Amino acid sequence: MRTINVGLIGAGGIAQSHCRAISEIEGTRIVAVCDLIRERAEKTAAEWKIPHVYENYHEMLKRESIEAVTVATYNQAHRAPTVDSLRAGKHVLCEKPMAATLDDAAAMTRAARETGKLLMIALKTRYSERMMAAKGIVSSGALGDIYYSETVAARRCGIPGFSDSFLRKETAGIGAVADIGVYCLDHALWLMGHPRPVAVSGIANNVLGKTHRPVRGSWTWDSENLTVEDFGAAWVRFDNGGAMVFKTSWIMHMDDIGGTFFLGTKAGMRLDPLTVFRHEWGLLTDTQTKGFAEVEDKELFRRENTAFADAIREGKPSPIPSEEMLLTNVIIQGLIDSSAAGKELAVSVPEA
């Protein structure tokens, strides 16, 4: 098995999960790490036995032995290292969300197409047992044509104050909508076959995060540093006539704002618990799946990094291509812009 040498850009918390996963994968190794804070890069290098440390990723990209790069920076710093790595001849695994803005996401997609290098966006939940089972059900044709869905990712009181990079526009760009919302948004689009969004009507705010303090047992955050949204919701129309409701929240006065489900012409499906609803034998039937258990987060990171390395080694297409993730950025940008405008807005997928 040919070993894939990886360069790591960004040595924060999420980078450690990738380091752990790669350390457990045969035929893949991290040979260099780069971070603007050298001490952080050095600490990561020492812990994971990475031989080379950099503060400037342009210098790291000059190493010919590096075949692939993992971009694990904060959201606003995804575009530049991804585009520069692709143009330096490296394959790239970029952490989610793909980018903080639609313009950045389009530029990254365009760079991958122009260079012919593999760009994969790290959506680890695609590799969960539930999502792979759900994809199998949809791919079988059991649901028929999906014409409507609702997709939800929400916490009652879980603003991620452990790092200010999640809270500030200059680093995160977008808050809950891109942090946890991108997971459920990707789930829905993936299972619906990636229809192209044509209109979005959305709202976004951070009223609770700015006016409430953490309560006992919740995550803690500094409201003065919160400049991104902690709540977002949108109605999305697609070019195939279908529609989707998208809801996400870091903080809310509610225990639950609904789950993710799909309505098809032959059946409906709910993700949690994974259940298919149909008319059979002249009866209403509910088929709840059994026989699988969810795996730990570290296994999801291992699976996505394995898929990335295998795709490089075997010359396969990107397991999670940027063209698919570009649609999440179209919807996220549409939600933010619609909220600011106070009305539904037409959206389109940029040519990349």
Average pLDDT value for residue range 24-43: 97
Average pLDDT value for residue range 16-21: 98
The answer to whether residue 336 sits within a structural domain is: no
Per-residue pLDDT of 150-200, as tens digits, reads 999 999 999 998 888 999 999 999 999 999 999 999 999 999 999 999 999
29 and 137 housed in the same domain:
no
288 and 262 housed in the same domain:
yes
Cα(259)–Cα(174) distance, integer angstroms: 23
The answer to whether residue 333 sits within a structural domain is: no
Instruction: Report the number of distinct structural domains present in the chain.
Output: 2
Listed in sequence order, the residues at least 6 apart from 296 whose beta carbon sits closer than 8 Å to its beta carbon are none
CB contact at 8 A, 41 and 55: yes
In the structure, what pLDDT confidence band is assigned to residue 293 with cuts at 50, 70 and 90?
Answer: confident
Range of the domain at 170: 129-294
- CATH code at position 137: 3.30.360.10
Listed in sequence order, the residues at least 6 apart from 90 whose beta carbon sits closer than 8 Å to its beta carbon are 7, 61, 66, 67, 68, 69, 117
91 and 219 housed in the same domain:
no
The answer to whether residue 342 sits within a structural domain is: no
Average pLDDT value for residue range 97-123: 98
227 and 303 housed in the same domain:
no
> Strand 268-270's sheet: what is its strand order?
283-288, 275-280, 268-270, 261-264, 146-154, 243-249, 231-238, 197-205, 345-346
Listed in sequence order, the residues at least 6 apart from 221 whose beta carbon sits closer than 8 Å to its beta carbon are 159, 160, 161, 167, 209, 214
Give the pLDDT confidence score for residue 208 in this predicted structure. Answer: 97
**Element of type H or E holding 114:** helix 102-115
Beta strands 4-9 and 28-34: pairing type?
A: parallel
- CATH code at position 92: 3.40.50.720
39 and 83 housed in the same domain:
yes
The answer to whether residue 94 sits within a structural domain is: yes
233 and 135 housed in the same domain:
yes
In the structure, what pLDDT confidence band is assigned to residue 276 with cuts at 50, 70 and 90?
Answer: very high
Average pLDDT value for residue range 3-30: 97
Instruction: Mean pLDDT check: name the lowest of 71-75, 121-125, 280-284, 289-293.
Output: 289-293
The answer to whether residue 200 sits within a structural domain is: yes
The answer to whether residue 251 sits within a structural domain is: yes
CB contact at 8 A, 104 and 79: yes
Please give the model's pTM, rounded to 2 decimal places: 0.96
For 352, the token pair is 């990349």
Give the pLDDT confidence score for residue 217 in this predicted structure. Answer: 87
Cα dihedral sign, 83-79-334-127: positive
For 157, the token pair is 């009181």
Residue that the structure tokens 């290292």 belong to: 81
Listed in sequence order, the residues at least 6 apart from 305 whose beta carbon sits closer than 8 Å to its beta carbon are 18, 21, 22, 25, 28, 93
Cα(101)–Cα(318) distance, integer angstroms: 21
> What does pLDDT average to over the chain?
97
Cα dihedral sign, 20-25-31-36: negative
Give the residues across from 53 on adjacent strands.
33
Give the pLDDT confidence score for residue 207 in this predicted structure. Answer: 97
Cα(77)–Cα(218) distance, integer angstroms: 29
Q: Is the pLDDT of residue 268 over 90?
A: yes
The answer to whether residue 338 sits within a structural domain is: no
255 and 182 housed in the same domain:
yes
CB contact at 8 A, 85 and 92: yes
Give the pLDDT confidence score for residue 352 in this predicted structure. Answer: 75
Q: Is the pLDDT of residue 123 over 80?
A: yes
109 and 194 housed in the same domain:
no
The answer to whether residue 81 sits within a structural domain is: yes
Average pLDDT value for residue range 219-231: 96
152 and 95 housed in the same domain:
no
244 and 133 housed in the same domain:
yes
